[in-house]
Amino acid sequence: MAKQRLSFLTDFVEAITRRKRGGEAEALRALARPALERVTVASSVLMGRIGDASRVAVAEQALTAYSELDDADRQRFFELLRDNYGVDGDAIRAAYAAWDASPDAAKVADLFRVVEPARQTLLRRMNLAPGATRQLVQMREDLLAAIRKDPSLAPIDEDFAHLLASWFNRGFLTLRRIDWSTSAAILEKIMAYESVHRMDGWGDLKRRLSENDRRLYAFFHPATGDEPLIFVEVALVRGMPDAIAPILTEPERREKALANTAVFYSINNSLAGLKGVSFGNFLIKQVAAVLSAELPEISTYVTLSPVPGFARWLSAQTDARSVALAKALDSGEWLNDAGAVERLRPEVEAIAARYIVKERHKNGPVDPVARFHLGNGASAHRLNWPADLSQSAQKNAHGLMINYLYELAEIETRHEAFVRDGAVAHGEQLAQALQN
């Protein structure tokens, strides 16, 4: 069996190499094998001693075979990565013993080399293929889905996260403004990836790109070409907004807006496979710097953000005050009763302020959007209710939204206080609400 497998490995490499030189028949026979077998063999070949040209060709075939796998075979491939491409315990112990006996820089390098799982080397070698980075991002998206079924695959994601954080380092990213002259291919992706406030066709997109009072910026990476990684939509308005509908539905302006406020109202991560890779903090700060230089009349930089975890959190509370508020909001009677809104507003603000400022888990505030903006150096400035009456906003947040304020001179100080002490900077409205 070992001889037969070794023969196939040799035939596989030779078939791929010959294909480049016209050996089509041999290549077709090798490449007709089942996809799981091909990606398994190609992975083994990539970890062996082959020349650079052959390694690129094998990497290409590995990713091609992977793309043909169904869900069940992807699960088996990830199990292979988990079980066969980890670390060598004996090698780690030997390297540690050598370092312990003589703790010099060379021994540290040897130890570092053996503690790195072999699958990191495999993924780096797969990344040699043309267009491989985008395919590996997709592979990680598949892995995240597989982990939900089998949590034992989670260690593989540590390797993906480590490599992607390096490959998508801020130094490689380029900021582009998206406008109506941008290629149709990119504009179509922007529409497809918008998940915060969905777009209703090309007319809606054109409105969000209006030169007079709107901006849209995206980060791109040279390895993924015209694939926007994250983008932010900006409204140029006068005063701080307290509802999303006017921003989304206001007719296009014929003249330049007399704006003093830039509102970041929609931030979208495009590729699920890049989950956890931090782009947004750099994006907002760089866009604020660009706008400050281009439009010196803008003095306020603020978000109008959803509060996606509020309704779920509120429904789980057991204190009498929260239970009463949850019952009142769930009834929906306030939707068509201005008097009920005014009666409920103090309760909504008090309990929502507690949710944003006080509620914690191991990574900081419970609310994911709060973690993002507060971690970027913003302050939780003002709660707005009701601010979004869309069905999703009612379901997730009972219509609640919040302004996070980015004061350019305070961003770094607040960021450091948040990281170091967990301090949540917040405005006077939230401070007063916390006392109620």
Same domain flag for 240 and 333: no
Residue 92 lies in a domain: no
Same domain flag for 130 and 11: yes
Contact, 267 vs 230, CB < 8 A? yes
Same domain flag for 134 and 8: yes
Please give the Cα distance from 267 to 229 (Å, whole number): 11
Q: For residue 7, what pLDDT is reported?
A: 52
Same domain flag for 144 and 293: no
pLDDT exceeds cutoff 50 at 182 = yes
Same domain flag for 357 and 324: yes
Same domain flag for 213 and 287: yes
Residue 108 lies in a domain: no
Same domain flag for 211 and 143: no
Query: Taking the CA atoms of the chain, what radius of gyration do you get in angstroms?
Result: 26
Helix (H) or strand (E) run with residue 236 in it: strand 230-237
Q: For residue 280, what pLDDT is reported?
A: 72
Higher pLDDT, 19 or 416: 416
Coil/strand/helix, residue 159: helix
In this prediction the pTM is 0.87
Task: Name the residue range of residue 190's domain.
Answer: 170-303
Residue 100 lies in a domain: no
Residue 107 lies in a domain: no
Same domain flag for 201 and 145: no
Q: Match 């069996």 to its residue by tokens.
A: 1
Please give the Cα distance from 323 to 124 (Å, whole number): 52
How far is CA 146 from its chain centroid?
18
Q: For residue 2, what pLDDT is reported?
A: 39
Contact, 30 vs 11, CB < 8 A? yes
Q: For residue 22, what pLDDT is reported?
A: 53
Q: Which of 99, 134, 167 is the last residue of a domain?
A: 167
Q: What is the mean pLDDT of residues 212-233?
A: 95
Same domain flag for 41 and 156: yes
Higher pLDDT, 293 or 170: 293
Percent of the chain with pLDDT over 90: 79
pLDDT exceeds cutoff 80 at 23 = no
Q: Which of 138, 167, 196 is the last residue of a domain?
A: 167
Question: Which stretch, 71-85, 108-122, 350-364, has highest mean pLDDT?
Answer: 71-85
Residue 67 lies in a domain: yes
Residue 143 lies in a domain: yes
Contact, 16 vs 57, CB < 8 A? yes
Q: Match 């291919």 to its residue by tokens.
A: 185
Same domain flag for 271 and 310: no
Which structure tokens are listed for 386? 């009701």
Q: What is the mean pLDDT of residues 316-332?
A: 97
Ramachandran quadrant class, 255 (left: phi over 0; alpha: psi -120 to 50; beta: rest): beta
Question: Helix H segments across 128-180?
Answer: 132-149, 154-167
- Count up the domains in the chain and report the number: 3
Instruction: Find residue 217's DSSP bridge partners.
Output: 177, 232
Instruction: Give the phi and the psi of residue 380 in degrees, each rounded to 5.
Output: -75, 100
Same domain flag for 215 and 362: no
Q: Match 């380092």 to its residue by tokens.
A: 169
Q: Could you tell me how many residues make up the chain?
A: 436
Please give the Cα distance from 264 to 253 (Å, whole number): 19
Q: Which of 145, 318, 128, 290 is nearest to 218 (CA)?
A: 290
Helix (H) or strand (E) run with residue 268 in it: strand 261-269
Least confident of 23-32, 106-115, 183-192: 23-32
CATH number at residue 81: 1.20.140.90
Q: For residue 4, what pLDDT is reported?
A: 43
Residue 106 lies in a domain: no
Instruction: Give the phi and the psi of residue 31 in degrees, each rounded to 5.
Output: -85, 0
Contact, 220 vs 231, CB < 8 A? no
Same domain flag for 151 and 205: no
Q: Which of 303, 328, 362 is the last residue of a domain?
A: 303
Cis check: omega of the bond before 246, within 30 degrees of 0: no
Question: What's the pLDDT tens digit per position in 41-68?
Answer: 999 999 988 888 889 989 999 999 999 9
Instruction: Give the phi and the psi of residue 262 in degrees, each rounded to 5.
Output: -105, 120
CB atoms within 10 A of CB 406: 23
Residue 51 lies in a domain: yes
CB atoms within 10 A of CB 272: 13
CB atoms within 10 A of CB 219: 23
Which structure tokens are listed for 257? 């807006």
Sign (positive or negative) of CA dihedral 74, 80, 83, 89? negative
